Copies of this chain bind each other. A is one copy, B any other.
């Protein structure tokens, strides 16, 4: 706009997990089914595979008037909630899932904000405390502040690959009890922005802690398909909860979230998602349904997209081989880029990057010289904001300062997605390296 010449030719938006915007192609099968649902005349077209048609017919049968244009029930289309429940049972090795506990939401964000809304109550010293990891995904801090609840921070351990230590949970909870009533514990696994993947032991500890302290668990598991590191595996909180036995699974209240936006499909624009809520008090459930019904229903085309995420082609079906090829291509690429990013950052002096075990972000720690910190202070700016602004101005690369996610006092980070195509990512990482070295020199 200003006409001032910049030392770069394009802005690279590595600030937001928006896969398609960075060139990732949609999964063909998912789009075929949604197109068939959108324009059912295509059900007669020989150019669409039978397995896609079968799913489209089933979804349409679940829609009022067989149309994506009808409202669904507030909780979501029945047959899609059934498919979600079957998916969860398969994923969790047979642990039962009840469609009645499934709610289709407008992306995961909507589910998280809605659950928080029914859990938050009270004022003064009995104000509801909501425990969140630091660093966190800013949806949490925004929702907590909007609801007038109290944000209770627990810190992830950067020295140990951003792992969650239950002693830190306990410290955080005990301190919070002095000024609020902590009721909710939020977990992001795989982590955003930190990319750690929690192991079974960690999840068991967290569940035991929630049981002991009667905390409502929110498990944000939208990156459940995005696990890359050797030896890492996604375990759902629901599964581990069941494996811990009836004392736990009959008592611990748990809401877990998934979405069409991440994983290998990256369908952010459809705003599809679901949550599974177990052990919710019937009175709270009534409140939840009432709250959902004010917005009538989540977008039905997003519900359809969610259905394909949980009900993809299976071996023997016509579209299976293409589907698997596309899915694995996306995930293998992300795994390569995760490793590449970690390795490249760790070669830069003054940068430390934990392994990107999962999700789709790097959150490296950066050393910022004292002189740069002074300059930032003079501009009333967080030092990592200054760093990111300079990076943008000099290279066209857009990343988000760590201060937007929270970090330990005196440490500085930024979040960058690994979504650009690999050749572009390499160039981008080279540019960031050069920038960082010059930055260190300039403010030495």
Contact = CB atoms under 8 A, between A and B. Distances in A.
Contacts of A267: 69
Contacts of A39: 31-32, 34-35
A406 interface: no
Q: Name the interface size band of chain A.
A: 35 or more
The count of identical subunits is 2
A107 interface: yes
B300 A67 contact: no
Contacts of A22: 65
Nearest to A17: B71
Contacts of A34: 38-39
Contacts of A269: 63, 67-72, 297, 299-301
Contact of A64 (B20, B69, B106, B110): B20
A30 B222 CA distance: 32
A294 interface: yes
Nearest to A34: B38
Given A34-B39, A38-B31, A39-B31, A268 B20 contact: no
Nearest to A290: B142
Contacts of A68: 269-270
A82 B133 CA distance: 41
A42 interface: yes
Contacts of A23: 65
A221 interface: no
A194 interface: no
A65 B20 contact: yes
Contacts of A21: 64-65, 67, 70-71
A20 B69 contact: yes
Contacts of A63: 20, 269
A70 B34 CA distance: 16
- Name the residue among A16, A31, A34 with the largest chain B CB count within 10 angstroms: A31
Interface string A243-284: 000000000000000000000011111110000000000000
A64 B109 contact: no
Contacts of A65: 20-24
Given A20-B64, A65-B24, A139-B294, A268 B71 contact: yes
A440 interface: no
Nearest to A146: B294
Contacts of A18: 64, 70-71
A110 B107 CA distance: 15
Interface in A10-52: 16, 18-24, 26, 31-32, 34-35, 38-39, 42, 45, 47
A106 B296 CA distance: 11
A191 interface: no
A240 interface: no
A5 interface: no
A300 B270 contact: yes
A225 to B, nearest CB: 15
B109 A106 contact: no
14 contacts: A20-B67, A34-B38, A38-B38, A42-B42, A63-B269, A67-B269, A69-B265, A69-B266, A69-B267, A69-B268, A106-B106, A269-B297, A270-B299, A271-B300
Interface of A: 16, 18-24, 26, 31-32, 34-35, 38-39, 42, 45, 47, 63-65, 67-72, 106-107, 109-110, 113, 139, 142-143, 146, 265-271, 294-302
Given A18-B70, A69-B266, 5 more contacts: A23-B65, A26-B69, A34-B38, A109-B294, A299-B301
